[in-house]
Amino acid sequence: MAHEEGCAPIRRGLLDHYPALGAYGVALYTWLILKMNPQTRRVETTIGEMRDALGTGPNQVGRTLKYLEDKGYIAYLRGSGGYKSVIYIQKPKCPTTGIECPLASNDSPCLSLIDIVHEVADEVRAEEQGASAMVLRVYRAWQDGGAMRHRRLTEKMGRAIKKAVKDYGEDMVVEAIKNYATIVHGDEYWFSYRWTLTDFLSRGDGKNIDRFCTDSDPFTSHRRESSTSTTANNDKYANI
């Protein structure tokens, strides 16, 4: 089974390890899995290559390699004299069962390396901000919808999410977000304006949530053959 470029076929059991690895650990470990020979679990690489993959400096690469090695995720044979380093990818033990986690399988779902890194980074950042699991769930629903993806979860977004959920409830907020994403992506709908998450939740004191919740039947009111499907209406809504 072929996988998209930049995606790693990773077994779900391995994801249990990711929160403890941190964003750089996840990025490097997943990149190594992508690069490894599946028969030998061997990777030949350089600090420069790993630095470019992570988009960081050599010191951060060194710290990340040491952490992965200390925790048993890799065996690291450092290269010298112009030779590449050799890294063997270990099979880490499941934190719960103690059983080795298979690294990859062709019948496993593809997970984008970038999405994995961002997801872990968002969870770490949310924890640092004291954000609740509810805030992260609403933010994840917004990111999954893809109307306008954000690079990171901010405190301002967190405040907007908390207020919206307080006023409307989590289920209704998530429902409106999903409906909005479906509409802006759909060719059959005339509305295409893309707000940021904060603007979507805050404009008109929650008016968008009322507008895009299922009870308001947004898929009918925003369909092209609807009587409201005019450019003027599209522009008017964008300024709410």
Each residue of 155-180: pLDDT tens digit?
899 899 999 999 999 999 999 999 99
pLDDT of residue 105: 38
**Region for residue 153 given its phi and psi (left: phi exceeds 0; alpha: psi -120 to 50; beta: otherwise):** beta
Q: Are 6 and 117 in contact (CB under 8 A)?
A: no
pLDDT of residue 68: 85
pLDDT of residue 225: 78
Residue 43, strand partner residues? 87
**Region for residue 55 given its phi and psi (left: phi exceeds 0; alpha: psi -120 to 50; beta: otherwise):** left
pLDDT of residue 76: 79
Q: Are 120 and 19 in contact (CB under 8 A)?
A: yes
Helix (H) or strand (E) holding 171: helix 170-185
Q: Report domain extents, the chain.
A: 7-113, 131-238
Tell me the three state secondary structure of residue 224.
Answer: coil
Q: For residues 46 and 138, give the distance between their C-alpha atoms in angstroms, rounded to a whole number.
A: 40
Q: Are 178 and 120 in contact (CB under 8 A)?
A: no
Given a cut of 70, whether residue 111 has pLDDT beyond it is no
Question: Mean of the per-residue pLDDT values for the chain?
Answer: 75
At residue 113, what are phi and psi to the nearest 5 degrees? Answer: -55, -45
pLDDT band at 25 (very low <50, low <70, confident <90, very high): confident
Q: Are 131 and 137 in contact (CB under 8 A)?
A: no
Which position has the token pair 């603007």?
A: 199
Closest CA to 33 of 62, 58, 8: 8
pLDDT of residue 57: 86
Given a cut of 60, whether residue 182 has pLDDT beyond it is yes
Q: For residues 142 and 202, give the distance between their C-alpha atoms in angstroms, rounded to a whole number.
A: 14
Q: For residues 211 and 175, give the distance between their C-alpha atoms in angstroms, rounded to a whole number.
A: 11
Share of the chain above pLDDT 70, in %: 66
pLDDT of residue 128: 52
Summarize the confidence of residues 69-74 as an average pLDDT. 80
pLDDT band at 150 (very low <50, low <70, confident <90, very high): confident
Q: For residues 184 and 207, give the distance between their C-alpha atoms in angstroms, rounded to a whole number.
A: 17
pLDDT of residue 3: 43
Considering the domain 7-113, what is its CATH architecture?
Orthogonal Bundle (1.10)
Which residue did the predictor score with more confidence, 73 or 7? 73
pLDDT of residue 136: 82
Summarize the confidence of residues 195-204 as an average pLDDT. 90
